[in-house]
Structure 1
Amino acid sequence: MATCDRDELREVSAAVLAVTAHLSVREVLQTIVSAARRLLDAEYAALGIPDSNGSFREFLADGLTDAQWHAIGPIPRQHGLLGAMLRDPAPVRSADIRTHPRFEGWPAAHPEMVDFLGMPIVDGDQILGELFLANKRQGRFGAEDEELLKLLAGHAAIAIVNARLYERSRELSIVEERQRIARELHDAVTQKLFSLRLTVEAAAALVERDPRRAVAELDTVRRLAADATAELKSIVVGLRPVDLAGDGLATALAKQAELLDRVHDARVTFTGDGVPRLPAEREEAAYRVAQEALHNALRHGAPRRVTIELRRAGPGVVLTITDDGHGFDPGSPGPATTAATDTPGNTAGNTAGGKAQHRLGLASMRERARSVGARLRVTSGPGKGTTITMEVPGP
């Protein structure tokens, strides 16, 4: 294989691998733009992703200095040939872009461009953006250049689509979290506040005719107020943002344990260090499963002690949350007997005091584990506490 062929293969490989690596979409697209310029021996390369306001949400270039970028000014609008390429999926190849019928000129500081090859970035029948080159150093852009640029545009489409899917999944997670909080507020805090109001009214009615009973009712008011405050603190703890990327899973879980230990009567502790870093989506899933397991234990199990353990297991980790609370039957509905489930993400069950909410929590843990290829195991029994184990694979 000729040296130039090996170099070309290496450049294409780097651009393809960038799509699957843990890089931001901007980094991936910049890699593709740079690879396209080098592979096709062009002086300039650029990639644009349009916005809904007639401009570009992303516009990346390669071959320009910072001084040239500054002198050119604002990024271009969707007009002229750039606008046409966002409406027509056909590639554009011209020996002199200045003679193209859709060419409308460029800013005064813009470098002179002649030979041009443009490729829309397409997903199905949708045009996501455009990738183009200018000023081939040797000769003119040909059919082989067009085929190679089409390949790179295809990988740019993968990166863009993956980024959009990730954003949608984040939006769905936010919606799920809001629904969970709404349920908690309704099921716990609202009921306690309603009881608090009734108890206050009863105490007020008894102040004059039965002061002793009024004092007893006021003691109940204090207890209900304390319970409502604890519930609100617990919900707020669940809302606090965590910097998994900066802190890592072990540090994030340690902070969560410290917060919950301060808020609840139960002793909440964490052990674990020296664990490997995992891909972001797996650390996120493990953290959310831990949050849900802790919430279930503290809300429904009335434990005296809850422990969180994170340990290395080859390239991955094992997360274990154990409590000494009421426990429940993971196989319910049915006879209340000690049971365990050990399938990838297969959990069911509830406590008597929060059946529907507990079942939803276990279903959420099951889905999170399944989404990252983890194994979830729930072991519990009435009066025997609960242990939830999540085996998370490595990279």
Structure 2
Amino acid sequence: MANQLNHHSNLRILKEIAELLNEGTEISPLLSGVLQKLLKVTGVTTGWIFLIDKDGRHTVEAAEHLPPALLKNNCEPLKRGSCWCVDGFKKGTLTKASNIIECRRIETAVKRQQGETNGIAYHATIPLQLGDEMFGLLNVAAPGKKEFSHDELALLESVALQIGSAIKRIRLTKKEQEMALIEERNRLARDLHDSVNQLLFSLSLTARGGIEMTEDMATKDTFRHIQSLSQEAQTEMRALIWQLKPSGLEKGLVQAIKSYGEMLGLKIDTKLSGVISLPTRVEETLWRVSQEALNNCKRHSGQNEVLISITVTHGRVCLTIRDRGCGFIFEGEQILPSLGIESMQDRVESLGGTFKLETAPSKGTTIIVELPY
């Protein structure tokens, strides 16, 4: 009878978590909600979830009721260094729920006197996976608990399998959305090129013909002004089409930036340090920031030379864009001077990065972006 009651309890727990997972569309809040529910219905008091990428870098995607020793400096003891469970995940030896007899992260935190552990010294670790795909680890613990039973580990494995399935679903959905967005951008780029861009080209030719056909100087000046405006609009249209369907991004970020700058009539000097192999979202953000910065250089700097530096270190990428143009008055505490610059900052900060603008009259303008990856 006890086993039957326990079986029904586990089914109820799995049902509640499955309902929660089916509603989620964003990974981080979803994992936090599942972890909260898991701790509430199972009796364990503490949990954290690592997501681990293909390069072996791990992030703390969710954490609940961590003791002070692991909370120090925004969970630095969990974010830095290695441990048996992360190492086992990377090596492919951690394939099922396991009891961790001694947690290296907790031991290190105690040695460094980083705070109380609230009686937690051991934890269970469960891989988040779906078939052959591995996403990360679920870790749970409770004060004084040295070992999780076979039934407890089996329940945690079932929960981890559900989490892995949800992560896969969300990532596939986002990939489909990205592909749909790319296709829509390509369609808009084609439409603009085939219609508006051709109309502007025709307008420029008509204005040129008007200049040659009339002898009246005022009329010539009017046609010249129309031709100049149409050519300027063509340049803007080419830039817009380039933004919608970047020619050259498939050849790499640096080549795309150089090609875009050259299309605007700018001379781009690039410096690259480190090997670039960036996630799509990070590369897209750097690309959009570079576009906006180059547009501003073209319109406002009064110079056609731009220096671009990209430095890649372990886990971080730094993009610096500098011109030696006229610059402007700007103090660090001021509101950013344009919607374009504000959108650059928003893009960067949405990925947990930092955005910095440095400028002064006659000193040029520098934009510095740092992003984790």
Q: Which has the larger Rg?
A: 1
